[in-house]
Chains A and B, each alone.
Chain A
Amino acid sequence: MKRWLPLVFFFVLVGFFTKGLFLNPREVPSPFIGKAAPTFSLPVVGDAQSAFSPADMKDQVWMLNVWAPWCATCLVEHKLLMALAESRTAPPIVGLNWKDKNREAEQLLLRTGNPYVAVPDDLSGRVGLDWGVTGTPETYVIDRAGIVRLKHVGPIDMEVWQNKFVPKLKELGA
């Protein structure tokens, strides 16, 4: 019976490899899912006197979109975000301006439209680090109690919106 062991072991490996072909080893889940959203207080782009903090969005389901004016993919995603903002069916989106060293965010939003209810300015990237951001664009969904419920790495397109975000938002009663 021992003689069949190598073959059996090999089949088990192949099973894992087959599953592995459908996975993406680079997609890292956020450790914040199910935990309270990290707090911060940042000045807002275009209005240095006001500050934004996640506490401002309490009792709503909302989304945090991490973006940057120098990020080409974000500009593509921007169109969808504009559509969502205008449709009024999507929850409010806060746009975290990440590492905008050249201070281009304000001009860009004036030019292309602003889908965000607020644009906190994370110049140093410190807040991004606190949220476990690895690049742009990334989007989080936070519920009424301030708990992070979803993180999506990469741009949101129609497919991702329909398959990933809509069910989750429905579940949260958005």
Chain B
Amino acid sequence: MTCRLIQHGLLTVFLASCVAALASEPGAATPTTSTTAPPTAQPLFANVAIEARLTHLSRELRCVVCQNEALSESPAELAGAMRQEIRDLMKAGKTDPEVLNFLTSRYGDFVLFRPPFKPVTYLLWVGPFVFLGFGVLVWFMALRARRTFKGAPVNSAQLAAAARLLEEKP
């Protein structure tokens, strides 16, 4: 029985690996035989490394003129201006925390989608894990109560009535 299970399991893993490999393997591209190579599209912004940083950081930032959108995706003009400002700051050598500081000193903590860990947000960050811990406690206590469970009290009259019902033909 376990041998079959091993077989099935390995088969699953194998299939999964194949699928994954297929998904990530670049297709075997045949080089074109044209004499001039087709022009390659240039990245929209020259500095690819900074763009990657910008994308990552702007997902953490709120567009202050939108109704709850990230800076990375907002089409608003001010959002574009802010993204450009971040680009300029990064080109000037500022680190990510420095960029965030630049923005929060002008727009407040409101601009951060990841609330900073401060006294006012302790409850926010710790809360979920406290809930889980509390839940585990409730689980333990409920189990302890169940182990020594006694059913609802039943008297002899009820038992007799139950016996009669069981005797009845359906």
- Are A130 and B64 touching (Cβ within 8 A)? no
Give the residues in chain A near B82, CB-CB below 8 Å. 129
Q: Does A34 contact B (CB under 8 A)?
A: no
**Main SS of chain A's interface residues?**
loop
Q: Does B18 contact A (CB under 8 A)?
A: no
Report how far A131 CA is from B107 CA in the complex, Å: 8
CB contact list, A110-142 vs B, under 8 A: 125-126, 129-132, 134-135
Report how far A58 CA is from B115 CA in the complex, Å: 36
Q: Does B104 contact A (CB under 8 A)?
A: yes
Query: Can you list, as one digit per residue, whether each of B120-144 has a CB less than 8 Å from chain A (1) or not (0)?
Result: 0000000000000000000000000
Known: A28-B64, A135-B65. A129 touches B85 (CB 8 A): yes
**Main SS of chain B's interface residues?**
helix
Summed over the interface, the residue pairs from A and B with CB atoms below 8 Å come to a total of: 30
Q: How many residues of B contact A (CB 8 A)?
A: 13
Query: Can you list, as one digit per residue, whether each of B55-85 has a CB less than 8 Å from chain A (1) or not (0)?
Result: 0000000001101000000000010011001
- Are B65 and A129 touching (Cβ within 8 A)? no
Report the contact-size class of chain A (Cβ under 8 Å from the partner): 10 to 19
Known: A129-B82, A129-B85, A134-B78. A30 touches B108 (CB 8 A): yes
Q: Does A20 contact B (CB under 8 A)?
A: no
Nearest chain B CB to A66's CB is how many angstroms away? 13
Known: A125-B81, A129-B81, A129-B82. A31 touches B65 (CB 8 A): no
Known: A134-B64, A134-B65, A135-B65. A31 touches B81 (CB 8 A): no
Q: Does A29 contact B (CB under 8 A)?
A: yes
Give the residues in chain B near A126, CB-CB below 8 Å. 85
Give the residues in chain B near A132, CB-CB below 8 Å. 106-108
Q: Does B14 contact A (CB under 8 A)?
A: no
Residue of A nearest to B82 (CB): A129
Residue of B nearest to A29 (CB): B108
- Are A31 and B107 touching (Cβ within 8 A)? yes
Partner of A28, one of B67, B78, B81, B110: B110
- Are A28 and B107 touching (Cβ within 8 A)? yes
Q: Does B148 contact A (CB under 8 A)?
A: no
Give the residues in chain B near A130, CB-CB below 8 Å. 106
Q: Does B33 contact A (CB under 8 A)?
A: no
Known: A134-B64, A134-B65, A135-B65. A31 touches B106 (CB 8 A): yes
- Are B64 and A31 touching (Cβ within 8 A)? no
B binding-site residues for A, Cβ under 8 Å: 64-65, 67, 78, 81-82, 85, 104-108, 110
**Could you list some 6 contacts between A and B, CB below 8 A?**
A28-B64, A28-B107, A28-B108, A30-B108, A31-B108, A129-B85
A binding-site residues for B, Cβ under 8 Å: 26, 28-32, 125-126, 129-132, 134-135
A129-B106, A134-B78 known, 15 other contacts, Cβ within 8 Å: A26-B67, A28-B64, A28-B107, A28-B110, A29-B108, A30-B108, A31-B106, A129-B81, A129-B82, A130-B106, A132-B106, A132-B108, A134-B64, A134-B65, A135-B78
